[in-house]
Amino acid sequence: MATPPPQHGAGPYHPYTPQQGGPYAPYTAAQQPAGPYGHPSLPQAAYGCRLCGGLPAAPATVRGHQGMLVLMRFLRQEGPFCRDCGLATYRRMSADTLWQGWWGPLSFFITPVTLLMNLGARAAFLRLAPPTGGFRPALEAGRPLLRRPLALAFLVVIALIALTPPTLVLIGLTAGEEKPPALITGQCVRNEGDWHDQKLLTTDCGSVNAEYRATRPADAPGGTCAPHDFLASLEYSADGKSLTCLTPLR
């Protein structure tokens, strides 16, 4: 008697059917996060310092300026920079700008703006930790900007130029004109000005330069100047109120 064919799902061995959600799912390529313009982003090391490759690095831009009377040049170094390479670049370009950037009508105003813009990059570099993992040693930061000879010398010159006009005005206001010495009866003088703007200088009476002798004041009780005498200005009197007679010697 013939054995009937096995029925679907009967018997100890079930037919093979693919398992869904089993431990071995079909292979699919790992998806990388998208970077700029739809391309996969590069490993983090690719964003290290552009000069040494060290991390961490800041995406800052350092600027410089050169004035050449009529022409001018705008300089820039774009990051990312690590702390040491960034500070070295900032100090070098800012020091060069301090003595190369002023030589032109427009450059005189562009230079301070450039130096102020670099302060933002400097602050970003100072917030970074020391660089590590670079493909070459980082740059030496060198002396701070205000301790570099060329930059310091030029800053001193600029400060002196800026302070000279107000200093001269202050000296002129405080010094004033020196009051001439009061004439004493019997002194001999000569006049190097005119009689509207006298300039009486005391002279030895025996000198050929002596022109007048100071006599008693014109307002002295009972006294007047001789007919041919001159009058000294009030500024030559002791109290600023009395007139002095000047008698010609020849």
Range of the domain at 205: 188-248
One domain for residues 103 and 214: no
What pLDDT band is residue 218 in, cutting at 50, 70 and 90? low
* CA dist., res. 236 & res. 243, Å (int): 8
Tell me 70's DSSP state. Answer: T
Assess if residue 39 is contained within a domain.
Answer: no
Residue 33 CB partners (closer than 8 Å, separation 6+): 40, 41
Classify residue 166: in a domain, yes or no: yes
Q: 109 in a domain, yes or no?
A: yes
Amino acid at 181: P
Helix (H, G, I), strand (E, B) or coil at 85: helix
State both tokens at 210.
Answer: 């002596």
Per DSSP, 67 falls in state E
Mean pLDDT score, 166-194: 79
Q: Which pLDDT band, with edges at 50, 70 and 90, does 128 fall under? A: very high
Q: Is residue 51 within 8 Å of 91, Cβ to Cβ? A: no
The answer, yes or no, to whether residue 172 has pLDDT greater than 50, is yes
Nearest C-alpha neighbor of 187 from the set 236, 222, 221: 236
209 found inside a domain? yes
Q: Which of the four pLDDT bands, split at 50, 70 and 90, describes residue 166?
A: confident
Q: Is 91 in the same domain as 126?
A: yes
Cα 114 from Cα 64, distance rounded (Å): 7
Residues 130 and 224 in one domain: no
Classified as helix, coil or strand, 68 is: strand
Are 151 and 238 part of one and the same domain? Answer: no
HSE of 140, CA atoms in CB hemisphere, 13 A:
2
Q: What is the pLDDT of residues 44-88, one digit of tens each?
A: 335 799 999 999 999 999 999 999 988 999 999 999 999 999 999
Q: Are 48 and 133 in contact (CB under 8 A)?
A: yes
Q: Fill in the amino acid letter for 226.
A: A
Predicted TM-score of the model (pTM): 0.51
The answer on pLDDT for 114 being more than 90 is yes
154 and 211: one domain? no
* Structure-model confidence comparison of residues 196 and 223, the more confident one: 196
Residues of the chain above pLDDT 70, percent: 77
Average predicted confidence (pLDDT) for the chain = 79
**Is residue 193 domain-resident?**
yes
